[in-house]
């Protein structure tokens, strides 16, 4: 998934992967300390993201795209210094920015069901892994709370997708 997000972001600007220790907030904060000016921050679990959707988000800055659960999947800012990361439950409301509905950014992958729902729209890297995974392996993927934070990682071939979610992508 991360490779698809990274590829879409690279069509738009310079890419940094935020994978510093300490969780998403610490990793994003560390990356942003080195930047100024407009940035977009995109979670690595949105494999249906397109460069056109990212451009639309950036054009609307400051704005964000929320996940269905109220967390934040992507955010565009006029200046990297104007943001204090505070991801997690309710973050989309907490950030207080205009919300956009961009399907490739709304549709994050926290469960095997999420992945199945968007499988026809994912990028080439995720598609290749899906094609290689057997139906049995996909059926054994967990259905619970997903992959982020303290959530479980699926113990099956689909985990090859999730292991790629090393961090958040920043486009400057």
Q: Which of 31-45, 93-107, 157-171 has the highest mean pLDDT?
A: 93-107
Other Cβ atoms closer than 10 A to 12:
18
Residue 141 to residue 143: CA distance in whole angstroms: 7
For residue 148, the Cα-to-chain-centroid distance in whole angstroms is 10
Give the residue-averaged pLDDT of 131-152. Answer: 52
Contacts of 16 (CB under 8 A, 6+ apart): 31, 35, 169, 170, 172
Q: In what order do the strands lie in the sheet with 98-99?
A: 15-18, 168-171, 39-42, 72-77, 63-66, 98-99
Give the residue-averaged pLDDT of 126-130. Answer: 84
Q: Which among 88, 76, 77, 105 is positioned nearest to 8, based on CA atoms? A: 105
Q: Which two tokens stand for residue 81?
A: 């210094």
Instruction: State whether residue 42 is helix, strand or coil.
Output: strand
Residue 22, pLDDT score: 83
* pTM of this structure: 0.80
User: Between 42 and 138, whose confidence is greater?
Assistant: 42
Query: pLDDT tens-digit profile of 104-124?
Result: 999 998 888 888 899 999 999
Residue 17, pLDDT score: 85
Pair 90, 66: CB distance under 8 Å = no
Query: pLDDT tens-digit profile of 29-55?
Result: 988 898 888 999 999 899 999 999 999
């Amino acid at each position: 998934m991360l490779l698809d997000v990274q590829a879409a972001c690279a069509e738009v600007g310079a890419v940094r992967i935020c994978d510093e220790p300490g969780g998403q907030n610490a990793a994003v904060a560390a990356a942003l300390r080195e930047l100024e000016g407009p940035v977009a921050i995109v979670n690595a679990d949105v494999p249906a993201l397109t460069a056109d959707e990212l451009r639309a988000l950036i054009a609307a800055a400051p704005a964000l795209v929320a996940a269905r659960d109220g967390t934040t999947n992507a955010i565009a800012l006029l200046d990297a210094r104007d943001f204090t990361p505070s991801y997690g439950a309710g973050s989309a409301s907490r950030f207080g920015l205009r919300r956009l509905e961009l399907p490739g950014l709304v549709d994050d992958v926290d469960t095997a069901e999420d992945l199945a729902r968007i499988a026809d729209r994912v990028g080439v890297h995720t598609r290749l892994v899906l094609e290689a995974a057997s139906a049995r392996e996909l059926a054994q993927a967990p259905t619970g709370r997903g992959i982020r934070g303290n959530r479980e990682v699926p113990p099956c071939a689909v985990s090859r997708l999730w292991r790629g979610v090393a961090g958040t992508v920043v486009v400057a």
